[in-house]
Amino acid sequence: MKKVVIVGGGIAGLTVAKTLLEGKMQAEITVVNNAPHYFAGPSRPLLLTGEQSLDRIVRGYEEVARRGVKVVVGTVYSVDPANRRVRLVGGYVSDGGVMELQYDYLVVAPGVVLDGSQITGYDKYRGNVLNVYDPGRARLLRDKVWSAERGTVVVYAPKVPYRCAPAPTETALLIDAVLRHRGVRDKFKIIHIDANDKTQPPVIADVVGEIYKKQGIEVVTGQEITEIGENYVVTRSGERYQYDILAMLEPNRAPKFVAEAGLGGQWVEVRSPQDLRHPKFDDVLAAGDAAGLQFPKNQEIAFESALFAANKILEMEGLPHRASVQYAFLGWAYVGNPEGRLQTLSVMFGLDFTTQPPKPSKDPQPKREYTERKDSWEQSYLKNLFGH
């Protein structure tokens, strides 16, 4: 029986596993994840307003295991593609210790690492860096936004690609809404510093820009943060910005084992968006945010790349099943609530990569309906992949 090892138990990794099962591949499928649970991404910013809660977006792997997928909790630290080996350190719900897995096919889908190591002062002041990307820091950010009486909030977006393009603008606008709800917005300055020439995604940069103007949010584009101090950041141009609350997303990259195994640099190298095999190894594929694709890093692209990866494995195994897939998506970006009500509005946007150049679409009118649609979409993914 063939052995398939999937590094990463998120949307991409579980989509590959599910599609292989649906394709009737006779294989031992092992998913390696660095935690015993999955923390869904798209609605995390709503933790700031209290419109979302962890119990709705955290899932365990019990139902996944019941489907016939072996789930191993551990951190992969080494891949040996020449000898088809994956090495990991077991997590607290496993046997622990160093483990080694053999594979016939390896799918690398570990998501991203948030890496601020190139920013001066990051190691010393990392405790000041908050964002909505992990539950601990999201909780601290929420507590600060709900308790502070005055000050300056600095929100930062690194150079693309990074996971979930709208998250920094969503963070700024949801913080704005909370402060208005509390009646203290006039005592705060909100500054969004962006390393890109536009806020992300570009298709709605004009819409966000107009909302920022109305809400009194300052935006600085084309500037990377190069230094963090106890209460300030410095951009590449030398400008210094004071902060009381720092909501900062670090630059994104794939885990270090990718580069150390010769599978890529910042991201895993692939042959093409449709053929996600590594250029040197037919049995190593990538999917999700870690794949070196020229597309935004979001849940829909992660899902679609996983279908292409699974289809390629099924093709190599001579099996007829193919999941229907193309690169295109609709998404929704939270834009807060100008009246300070904790009923977040959203705008809709999309990109169709089946045409060249990619065809953008958007509805610039903020609507509560879009926020509700985004919630239903996220919950449907969780039910489909995690069983509930």
CB 340 within 8 A of CB 188: no
Predicted confidence (pLDDT) at residue 94 exceeds the cutoff of 90: no
* CA torsion, ordered 318, 324, 328, 333, to nearest 10 deg: -110
List the beta strands (DSSP E) in 131-203.
151-157, 188-194
Residue type, position 127, single letter:
G
CATH topology assigned to domain 2-112+254-316: FAD/NAD(P)-binding domain (3.50.50)
What's the pLDDT tens digit per position in 156-175? 999 999 999 999 999 999 99
CB 68 within 8 A of CB 17: no
Closest CA to 43 of 384, 328, 387, 377: 377
Q: What is the mean pLDDT of residues 230-238?
A: 98
- When pLDDT is cut at 50, 70 and 90, the band that residue 90 belongs to is confident
The correct answer on CATH 3.50.50.60 for the domain covering 117-251 is yes
- Alpha-carbon distance 75 to 78, whole Å? 9
Quote the pLDDT of residue 92.
63
What mean pLDDT is reported for the chain? 97
Structure tokens belonging to residue 72 = 């191993």
φ, ψ of residue 113 in degrees (nearest 5) = -110, 135
What's the pLDDT tens digit per position in 1-54? 999 999 999 999 999 999 999 999 999 999 999 999 999 999 999 999 999 999
What's the pLDDT tens digit per position in 287-334? 999 999 999 999 999 999 999 999 999 999 999 999 999 999 999 999
What's the pLDDT tens digit per position in 113-161? 999 999 999 999 999 999 999 889 999 999 999 999 999 999 999 999 9
- Alpha-carbon distance 202 to 248, whole Å? 19
What length is written for the chain? 388
Edge-to-edge strand order for the sheet containing 232-235? 225-228, 232-235, 240-242
Structure tokens belonging to residue 104 = 């016939």
Closest CA to 290 of 107, 166, 167: 107
- When pLDDT is cut at 50, 70 and 90, the band that residue 335 belongs to is very high
- When pLDDT is cut at 50, 70 and 90, the band that residue 93 belongs to is low
CB 347 within 8 A of CB 370: yes
**What SS3 state is found at 184?**
coil
Predicted confidence (pLDDT) at residue 95 exceeds the cutoff of 80: no
- CB hemisphere CA count around 54 (13 angstroms): 11
Quote the pLDDT of residue 97.
82
CB 155 within 8 A of CB 175: yes
What's the pLDDT tens digit per position in 166-205? 999 999 999 999 999 999 999 999 999 999 999 999 999 9
Q: What is the mean pLDDT of residues 354-379?
A: 97
What's the pLDDT tens digit per position in 247-287? 999 999 999 999 999 999 999 999 999 999 999 999 999 99
Structure tokens belonging to residue 134 = 């992990």
| Burial group, residue 129, by CB count within 10 angstroms (0-12, 13-18, 19+) | buried
Closest CA to 20 of 268, 287, 254: 287
CB 6 within 8 A of CB 29: yes
**Whether the bond into 168 is cis, omega within 30 of 0:** no
Residue type, position 139, single letter:
R
Q: Where in the chain is the domain with CATH 3.50.50.60?
A: 2-112+254-316, 117-251
